[in-house]
Amino acid sequence: MNLFTTRIAIRIYKTKNWIVAQVVFAVLALLRLLPARKAIRFTEKMAYRIGPKTARHKLVLRNLERAFPEKPLAEREAIALDMWGNMARLMAEYIFVDEMIDNDIDEDGNGLIEVLGAERFHDLIENPRPFIVFTAHSGNFELLPIVAAKYGLNVTAMFRPPNNPYIAKRLLSARRTHMGRLVPSKAGAAWNLAGVLEAGKGVGLLVDQKFHKGRKTQFFGLKVHTNPLLAKLARNYDCDVFPARSIRLPGGRFRLEIEPAITIPRDESGHVDMTATAQLLNDKVESWVREYPGQWMWFHDRWNIKHTL
């Protein structure tokens, strides 16, 4: 490919991304004109129609078949529909996050957002120290750092930006409004997070994504590669590691659970066992997904099977 052809291809790629981004922004702007509950419900209903017609739906069903071979096809298809609805609600909730966090956030189950384990937020605020919180792409996982900030606990979160640079820029701007510091998952991210822990503060990680050069582990009994970053940080800073998750409840409510710190596996010499720690993360996420399978991101190619479809 010569220089001229390359430039044309790049321009076409950028133009396509710009057009897609404008369509997404226009849809979000229209949704913003509706009351929050109606907009979110409308988006969910549309996802039930559109999701099964997308190219990714085949991957969703294949992933569900591999994870739940014991479940009948009808049940797996129902889980797939739930997932599309959950992902659509997540997108719409970005628009109304101000209204959501202005509602009651309590520890008794009476508000829009219920927090279980809030005493751990209080402890980390009253006794500052380095810590790691990990979660998965389930429920509205974006609420975790937002609610932590509402408690006064700022967590530096690492995230993977969307492939579309125009959407990524808008999304990053929206997230920074409520989430504090964000670190894109690219070269240098590990050094940034290490610096946060070195300063005695906390970081947040999503641990359920594919990572080609990761540790060889299993997820739902199937071979996967898992990012060793959390294990490396825990090894270097010997800090508390807390599992946390978001659960979508009926009636547009949420439950955020901050669990007790896990015990990091160590080898015979007392050093952090990197592979065992990566497996421990997978086991925790798997337990969450099995409990609420329709709330996890099944269109992600966690088992690296897309090339076989």
Query: Which positions ≥6 away from 200 have C-beta within 8 Å?
Result: 128, 129, 130
The whole-number average pLDDT for the span 56-66 is 96
Higher pLDDT, 280 or 36: 280
DSSP state of 294: G
Q: Is residue 144 pLDDT above 60, yes or no?
A: yes
Q: Which residues of 53-67 are buried (b: 16+ CB within 10 A; e: fewer)?
A: eeeebebbbbbbeeb
**Average pLDDT of the chain to the nearest whole number:** 86
The lowest-confidence range among 61-65, 99-103, 113-117, 303-307 is 99-103
Confidence class for position 94, pLDDT limits 50, 70, 90: confident
**Which residue shows structure tokens 């969450």?**
288
pLDDT digits (tens, 9 = 90+) for 245-273: 999 999 888 999 999 999 999 998 889 99
**Which residue shows structure tokens 């980390």?**
124
E strand or H helix at 249: strand 240-249
CA distance 146 to 117: 15
Percent of the chain exceeding pLDDT 70 equals: 85
pLDDT digits (tens, 9 = 90+) for 157-180: 877 766 777 766 766 665 555 555
Q: Is residue 141 pLDDT above 80, yes or no?
A: yes
pTM: 0.88
How many angstroms separate the Cα of 100 from the Cα of each of 60, 178, 279? 29, 12, 34
How many angstroms separate the Cα of 308 from the Cα of each of 59, 201, 301? 10, 43, 11
The whole-number average pLDDT for the span 29-48 is 87
Do 204 and 134 touch, CB atoms closer than 8 A?
Answer: yes
Q: Is residue 19 pLDDT above 70, yes or no?
A: yes
CA distance 96 to 105: 15
pLDDT attached to residue 8: 73
The lowest-confidence range among 40-54, 75-89, 159-173 is 159-173
Q: Which residues of 188-221 are buried (b: 16+ CB within 10 A; e: fewer)?
A: eeeeebbebbeeebbbbbbbbbebeebbebebbe
Q: Is residue 72 pLDDT above 80, yes or no?
A: yes
Percent of the chain exceeding pLDDT 90 equals: 54
